[in-house]
């Protein structure tokens, strides 16, 4: 059973598509409730997490590590929720937060600007101009956020497996295409294919635990063997060492935990 991420612009009917796909396949839907999870688990206010994942970072924020920490919390919460498969995630940047996991069906739902304006006008009871301004501002924020943090444009179709434009094609058509793709061989999950998800979830959890004190560390995990990469010489200082020893006892599923000192982290390091 697959993991499906649905990326969408505001008022593009992506939420409706996600909910109907989940209902059709009997999957769990994850969206903003994920932020509540992260907020409770890592004791950060939800509003800070929302800003971290929605707004493009300002100049000062780019210099500080707070946003990195919030994203690490969100990613840890998301990977924890998707580790067993059978989920549809339609929050922000799912395709990027779950990057590196094979077999994730990445979908983008688009709609004509005029249709989106119409949807927003109906829902919010505002004028066409106001609705257009809000949508364009929101689109720019999301583009800015993704470009600044991941260096890619969310409008780039190459990031997705399937892009469906709601217009001539309806929400029901999109749902049917997505369900058909999710049932295909390429997206069928097995214990073997879920292993990288479990490893990523573990790496993200450890990164989230370390990020506040050690914002620049990188973490990889393979079959429960965790390596924490640091740019400090030796094993990264006694403070990091002690923290890691404690974590290896605290977190379930860690088979072995090591610290490596290296200038260049592996590309898949969290």
Partner 1 sequence: MPIIIISSEDPAVEEQIAARTAKAVGFQTLGPEVLPAIAAKHAIPEPKLAESLGRTATPWWRRQAKGRQLSLACVEAEVLDRLAPDNIVCWGLGAHLYVLGISHALKARLLPDPARQIEALAGQRGVSPQKAGKLLEGARLKRAQWAQAAFGQNEMDPSMYDLIINLGQIDPDEAVGTLTTAVGYRKFQPMTYSISSLADLALAAKVKAKLLRTMNDIRVQARDGKVVVTSKALQRERRKKTAAIKSLAGEVPGVNYVEVHLINYVIRAAAESFR
Q: Under the rule (CB under 8 A), what is the footprint of partner 1?
A: 103, 105, 108, 110, 112-113, 155-158, 160-165, 167-170, 173, 176-177, 180-181, 184-187
Choose between 101 and 201: whose C-beta lies nearer to partner 1: 101
Nearest to 79 by CA among 125, 41, 26: 41
Residue 57 CB, nearest distance to partner 1 (Å)? Answer: 25
Question: What is the tally of helices (H) and strands (E) in the chain?
Answer: 11, 8
Chain position carrying tokens 């919390």: 73
Choose between 33 and 112: whose C-beta lies nearer to partner 1: 112
Q: What is 167-197 written as a DSSP string?
A: TTB-HHHHHHHHHHHHHSGGG---HHHHHHH
Structural tokens at position 171: 């929400």
Residue 187 CB, nearest distance to partner 1 (Å)? Answer: 7
Residue 109 CB, nearest distance to partner 1 (Å)? Answer: 10
Choose between 20 and 230: whose C-beta lies nearer to partner 1: 20
Residue 161 CB, nearest distance to partner 1 (Å)? Answer: 5
Choose between 64 and 170: whose C-beta lies nearer to partner 1: 170
Count Cβ neighbours within 10 Å for each residue of 58-74 and write b for 16 or more, e otherwise: eeebeeeebbbbbbbbb
Residue 223 CB, nearest distance to partner 1 (Å)? Answer: 24
Nearest to 215 by CA among 97, 35, 62: 62
Choose between 157 and 190: whose C-beta lies nearer to partner 1: 157
Choose between 122 and 157: whose C-beta lies nearer to partner 1: 157
Nearest to 166 by CA among 20, 25, 4: 20
CA-CA-CA-CA torsion sign (98, 101, 104, 108): positive
Residue 113 CB, nearest distance to partner 1 (Å)? Answer: 8
Choose between 176 and 248: whose C-beta lies nearer to partner 1: 176
Q: Is 239 exposed, middle or buried (0-12, 13-18, 19+ CB in 10 A)?
A: exposed
Chain position carrying tokens 């009997």: 26
Residue 87 CB, nearest distance to partner 1 (Å)? Answer: 17
Q: How far apart are the first and last CA of the chain?
A: 25
């Amino acid at each position: 059973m697959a993991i499906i991420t649905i990326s969408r612009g505001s008022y593009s009917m992506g939420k409706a598509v996600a909910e109907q796909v989940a209902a059709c396949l009997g999957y769990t839907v994850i969206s903003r409730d994920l932020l509540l999870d992260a907020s409770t688990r890592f004791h950060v206010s939800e509003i800070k997490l929302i800003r971290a994942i929605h707004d493009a970072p300002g100049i000062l924020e780019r210099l500080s590590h707070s946003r990195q920490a919030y994203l690490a919390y969100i990613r840890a919460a998301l990977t924890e929720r998707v580790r067993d498969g059978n989920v549809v995630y339609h929050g922000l940047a799912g395709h990027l937060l779950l990057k590196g996991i094979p077999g994730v069906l990445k979908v983008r739902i688009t709609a004509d600007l005029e249709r989106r304006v119409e949807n927003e006008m109906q829902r919010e009871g505002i004028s066409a101009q106001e609705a257009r301004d809000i949508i364009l501002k929101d689109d720019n924020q999301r583009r800015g956020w993704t470009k600044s943090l991941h260096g890619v444009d969310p409008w780039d179709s190459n990031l997705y497996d399937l892009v469906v434009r709601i217009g001539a094609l309806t929400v029901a058509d999109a749902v049917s295409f997505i369900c058909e793709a999710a049932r295909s061989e390429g997206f069928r999950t097995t214990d073997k294919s879920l292993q990288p998800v479990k490893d990523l979830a573990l790496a993200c959890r450890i990164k989230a635990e370390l990020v506040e004190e050690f914002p620049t560390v990188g973490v990889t995990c393979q079959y429960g063997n965790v390596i924490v990469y640091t740019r400090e010489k030796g094993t990264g200082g006694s403070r990091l060492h002690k923290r890691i020893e404690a974590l290896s006892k605290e977190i379930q599923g860690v088979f072995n935990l090591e610290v490596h000192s290296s200038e260049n982290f592996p590309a898949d390091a969290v």
